[in-house]
Amino acid sequence: MIQKIKGTYDVYGSLSLKHLYIKSLFQNVCENFNYSYIETPLIERSELFHRGVGETSDIVTKETYDFVDRGGRNNTIRPEGTAGIARAVIENKMYTTLPLKLFYMGSMFRYERPQKGRYRELRQLGIELYGSSDEMADAETINLATTFLKELGLKDVVVKINSIGGVETRKKYREDLIKYFSKNIDNYCEDCKERLNKNPLRILDCKIDADKEEVKNAPSILDYLNAEEKESFEKIKKYLDDLDIKYEVDNRLVRGLDYYTNLVYEFTTPYKDIGSIGGGGRYDNLLSSLDGPEVPAVGFAFGFDRIVDVLNELELEIPKTDEIDVYVLNIDQKEYAFNLVNTLRENGYRVDMNITSKNMKAQFKEADRYKAKYLIIIGEEEVKEEIYTVRDNLTKEEIKVSKDDLIDYLDINL
């Protein structure tokens, strides 16, 4: 028997209802904020992620699925959404009309050890806002995210925010971090030893060493911000206060991708085995680093699988249902029933019928399995008289309804 690849899973049954509900809700919230849908290829040139995401990020150094195609080109299955969308914005000259507001949903692929909330095929929901350097844009993205979480019923999610400054600020901060961590670097994990001279900021959020007192007491990036960067961070906090969005300032928050500048943020849960469910920030230099124009940008991504885990943790019921409106039960009148089913579907009802050779008893059981609200029973007499027997499957009450009145009856009762 051929089995699924490690780190992947099948979506069906009640899980598929949750997936559809989450996607639909996210789409509705994004459209209410005037964001448009974008979809980019699963496969991109490897150079895109090496230049966009960053050579020092864990994604590029450890986790990408890379392959050489038959033409000898280096390709990568997308590990995240932002770089591919940046490529699409440049290639399709979408930056000519700004601001540009986009949202996306889809699978990403990273080779990492599978565990709760972490898969090799991971699903993400995200947004990108291009064309505004105003702090209002930063606040809007957080507002959209928190609106979505509230709609889902996730009330215990904490928004953590930080500013990692611009290029010059991080350059000075980087130098001081190298000096600070160099003293005892032998006590750190192998990844941190490698990060020391490549990207010391990543030591601050190392999964192994982050809880060490020395890491907790490391210099704060907030002390290195220049006057303009400090003012910008204060404006963002003021906007969030005005929107009544609760947040925590976390001066060790740096995010794992190299393209971030200034604002970074993360959405965390109180559940130890879940932790962060997503995050984002500003990346004003991303387009120019990919040979595009200088266009400011900000956005976020949620881990779809982790959101499902939180819903399960809280045992939250979703309004999505697998009930059908009508089951058409026929007694040797399959063709007539088939045409009636089509008519009902054309009128917007969720309808099914027996398409095998089940007897009456089996059809009643099938109607119950489909959780049909109503049964329409079609036999020879019903066809001849054009009067249907309609049964309320909850109360078991039956009523005779003429063919011409059937749609009106269902409109009133469903």
Residue-wise pLDDT tens digits, 134-150:
999 999 999 999 999 99
How many other β-carbons are positioned within 10 Å of the β-carbon of residue 198?
Answer: 14
Beta strands in 110-260 (DSSP E): 121-130, 158-163, 247-249
Q: How far apart are CA 106 and CA 280, in angstroms?
A: 17
What pLDDT does 340 receive?
A: 94
Residue 186 has pLDDT above 90, yes or no: no
Residue of higher predicted confidence among 367 and 274: 367
**394-412: per-residue pLDDT in tens?**
999 999 999 999 999 999 9
Residue 283 has pLDDT above 60, yes or no: yes
Residue 57 has pLDDT above 70, yes or no: no
- The single residue listed with the structure tokens 């007897």 is 359
Please report, rounded to a whole number, the percentage of residues in the chain having pLDDT higher than 70: 97
* pLDDT, mean over the chain: 91
With residue 388 as reference, give the H or E element that holds it: strand 387-392
Q: What share of the chain is helix, strand, coil (3-state, %, to 5)?
A: 45, 20, 35
Residue 272 has pLDDT above 80, yes or no: no
What pLDDT does 54 receive?
A: 63
Q: How far apart are CA 224 and CA 175, in angstroms?
A: 12
pLDDT band at 216 (very low <50, low <70, confident <90, very high): confident
- The single residue listed with the structure tokens 């299955």 is 77
CA 164 from centre of chain: 25
Average pLDDT over residues 188-212: 79
Q: How far apart are CA 24 and CA 18, in angstroms?
A: 10
Residue 198 has pLDDT above 90, yes or no: no
Residue 206 has pLDDT above 80, yes or no: no
- The single residue listed with the structure tokens 């609106």 is 147
The two structure tokens encoding residue 249: 């300032």
Average pLDDT over residues 11-34: 95
Coil, strand or helix at 184: coil
Superfamily for 13-165+225-314?
Bira Bifunctional Protein; Domain 2 (3.30.930.10)
What pLDDT does 350 receive?
A: 96
pLDDT band at 320 (very low <50, low <70, confident <90, very high): confident
What pLDDT does 59 receive?
A: 63
Least confident interval from 35-44, 246-255, 279-288, 338-347: 246-255
Least confident interval from 111-125, 149-163, 234-248, 296-310: 111-125
CATH code given to domain 326-413:
3.40.50.800
Instruction: Tell me the domain boundaries of the chain.
Output: 13-165+225-314, 326-413
